[in-house]
Structure 1
Amino acid sequence: MSNEDITLTAGDAEVTVQPGNGGRVGGLRLGGVELLRQGKRFGCFPMVPWCGRIREGRFRDGAAVHQMPLNAPPHAIHGTVRDAAWRTARRSADEAVLTYDLVDPWPCPGRVTQVLTLAEDALTLTMSVETYASSFPAQIGWHPWFNRNLGAQDVRIDFAPAWQEERGDDHLPTGNRIDPKPGPWDDCFGMPDGVDVTLTWPGQLELRVTSPEQWVVLYDEQAEAVCVEPQTGPPDGLNTLPRLVTPLEPLEATTTWTWRRL
C-alpha cells in the first residue's frame, strides 16, 4: 500500500494518520474540534528506537559504542523515525497498521509496527520493535502536541507521579529522584502503577492519557501546546535503563487516550 494520509472515523471522532510523515497522527478532531497542534512536525509522532535525548548521541550496546546524529546538539533526540516514511500494511474504517524497517544511522536491523485503533471515545496506539538478528537496546514512546487552548480556557494538567527525575543543566536526568515540582516542565516523571494524566479544557473536554508504562515526560514550555509523552524508560534510557529487543522478545508498548465531553 502507499504511504498517503489515512482518515479513521468512529462516531464524531476523526483521526488523520500520516504514514509518509513519520507515522504520526496528524490530527484528532472531535465534533470538528482539532485537539492536536497542526504542522508538519507536530500532531503526535512515535519516538523509536529511543525517546527524548541520548547524552551526546552515544549509547553502549555490549562492548560497542554507537554514535547517533546530533539533531539537538549536544544530544540526539526522539529516535530516527519521526521524519521517515512508514508503510501502510493494513487499514480499515477505524484502524491502521503501519510498519517501518530500521535503517542507518540506527546500527541494528529491526522492524517497528504501529497499530492505531479509533473508537467513539478513545484512540489506542500500540507499537512494537522486533528483530530476527542480534539483540539491541531500544525505547518506545509517543510525543503528542495537544493544543493548549480549544477556543476558551487553557488546558489543566492533573497527575500524581511518585517522583520526578531531577533534570541537569544538560536537560538530562541526573539519576536523582526528587519530589514532583510544579511546572512549567520539560521533565520526566515516574508513575509505577502506570501512566495516568488527565487534560481538562474547562467546560469543553476531558482527555486521559494512560499507559501500562511507568515513565512520562511532560513538556509545556511552549505557548501553543502541551505534551504528555508516555514511554518505556527515561531520557538517555538507552544508557541508564536499557530494554533489550531480542529475537525471542520484542519490545512492546501501548497508550490510550480516552475522552468525554464536559
Structure 2
Amino acid sequence: MSNEDITLTAGDAEATVQPGNGGRIGGLRVGGLELLRKGERFGCFPMVPWCGRIREGRFRDGATVHQMPLNSPPHAIHGTARDGAWHTARVSADEAVITYDLVDPWPYRGRVTQVVALTEDSLTLTMSVETYESSFPAQIGWHPWFHRNLGGPGAQDVRLDFTPAWQEERGDDHLPTGHRVDPKPGPWDDCFGMPDGVDVTLTWPGQLELRVTSPEKWVVVYDEQEAAVCVEPQTGPPDGLNTHPHLVTPLEPLEATTTWSWRRA
C-alpha cells in the first residue's frame, strides 16, 4: 500500500496519520477543535529507536560503541524513524497499522510497527520494535505538540496537572545527571518518573480535558515554546540507550502504548 495520508474517524473525532512524514499523527480534531500543532515537524511523531538526546550521539552495545549523526549538536535526538517514510500495512475507518524498517544510520536491522486506533473519546498509539537478527538496545516514545491555546472567543491557555514521584536532575547539557530530585516548577524541558504509569491531564478551560496515560514510567514535559506543550511518554529517560537500555531480541520485542482520552467541557 502507499504511504499517503490516512484519515481516521470516530464520532466527531478525526485523526490524520502521515506514514510518508515519519509515521506521525499530523492532526487530531475533536468536535472541530484541532488539538495538535500542525506542520511538517509537529503533530505527534514517534521517537524510535531512541527517545530524547543521546549524549554526543554515542551509545554502547557490549564492547561496541556506535555513533549516531549529531542532529541536535552536540547530541543526537529523537531517533531515526521520524525522518523516514513508513508503509501502510492495514487501514479501516478508525484504525491504521503502519511499519518502518530500521536502516542506516541505525546499525541494526529491525522493524517498527505502530497501531493508531481512534474511538469517539480516545486515541491509542501502540508501538513495537522487533528483530529477527542481532539483539540491540532500543527505546520507544511519542512526541506530541499540543496547542497551548485552542483558539476561539475567550480561550484560555492549557493547564497541566500531574504528580510525578521524581524529576531527573538536568545538567547543563540538557541530559539527566543520574540524580533524582523533587519535582520543580516549570517551565520544563525535563524528564519525570511516574512509577505507577504516566498520567498527565491537560485542561483547556471551558473547552476540553485530555488525559495522557501509559503503563510506561517515564514522561518528558516540554513547555518552553509559546505555541505548544509536549507530554512525551517513553520507555526510559533521555540517554536511556546508555543508562536504561531495553534489549530487543528475536524472542522479545520492545512494546509500548499510550492512550489519550478526552472529555468535552
Tell me if both proteins adopt one fold, taking TM over 0.5 as the criterion: yes
1:143 aligns with 143
Equivalent position to 2:156, from 149, 153, 165: 153
User: Is 1:73–2:73 an aligned residue pair?
Assistant: yes
SS in 1 for 2:242: helix
Q: For 1:27-176, list aligned pairs within 5 A.
A: 27-151=27-151, 152-176=155-179
User: Matches of 1:168 and 1:220 in 2, distance apart?
Assistant: 18
Superimposed CA distance per residue, residues 1-29 of structure 1 (whole angstroms, 9 cap, x where no aligned partner)? 00000000000000000000000000000
User: Is 1:17–2:20 an aligned residue pair?
Assistant: no
SS in 2 for 1:234: coil
Match for 1:112: what amino acid? V
1:258 aligns with 261
2:220 aligns with 217
Detail structure 1 runs of 4+ shifted over 6 Å in the superposition.
none
1:185 aligns with 188
TM-score under structure 1 normalisation?
Answer: 1.00
Q: CA deviation at 1:32?
A: 1.5
For structure 2, the 5+ residue unaligned runs are none
User: Matches of 1:239 and 1:42 in 2, distance apart?
Assistant: 27
Match for 2:109: what amino acid? P
TM-score under structure 2 normalisation?
Answer: 0.99
1:8 aligns with 8
User: Matches of 1:32 and 1:193 in 2, distance apart?
Assistant: 33
RMSD, matched Cα = 0.3
For structure 1, the 5+ residue unaligned runs are none
Match for 1:218: what amino acid? V
Percent of residue pairs bearing the same amino acid type: 87
User: Matches of 2:99 and 2:81 in 1, distance apart?
Assistant: 11
SS in 2 for 1:249: coil
